[in-house]
Amino acid sequence: GAVVSQHPSRVICKSGTSVKIECRSLDFQATTMFWYRQFPKQSLMLMATSNEGSKATYEQGVEKDKFLINHASLTLSTLTVTSAHPEDSSFYICSARGTESNIQYFGAGTRLSVL
């Protein structure tokens, strides 16, 4: 299957700092990437859909100024958690879907802990 690389895998930061998470499709071009958040023992909640070259589409209740998404190329999308607070601590996962596939492939996830 296709490979999606997500970096970093773990971040510990102080409250008020910003954190950038990268998501790359390594062997295919991803016209669409997705960002999810997952709290312990809960399912994946879609935060936003990122399309290359256009603005991201955010789900209801997700603050776009808080979670900045940039889909700069067909292989890279970034999520920046701005002015992170302890309640932003979570597992963030990206996925990517190629132009000719119905399947979303997931990155390994980023565990964010805000102190």
Are 3 and 61 within 8 A, CB to CB?
Answer: no
By CB under 8 A, tell whether 67 contacts another protein: no
Contact call for residue 105 and another protein (CB under 8 A): yes
CB of 23 to another protein, least distance (A): 11
| Dist CA 93 CA 43 (whole Å) | 11
Query: SS in 3 state form for 42-85?
Result: CCCEEEEEEECCCCCEECCCCCCCCEEEEEEECCEEEEEECCCC
How many C-beta atoms lie closer than 10 Å to residue 34's C-beta?
A: 22
Kindly state whether residue 91 participates in binding another protein, applying the rule CB under 8 A. yes
Q: Which stretch binds another protein (CB under 8 A): 62-70, 72-80, 81-89, 100-108?
A: 100-108
The DSSP secondary-structure symbol of 16 reads T
Query: Pairing between strand 110-114 and 30-38?
Result: unpaired
CB nearer to another protein: pick between 20 and 111: 111
Q: Out of 20, 22, 49, 89, which residue is the one contacting another protein (CB under 8 A)?
A: 49
Report the residue from 13, 22, 46, 80 that binds another protein according to the rule CB under 8 A. Answer: 46
Residue ranges in contact with another protein by CB under 8 A = 1, 6, 32, 34, 41-44, 46, 49, 57, 91, 93, 97, 102-109, 111
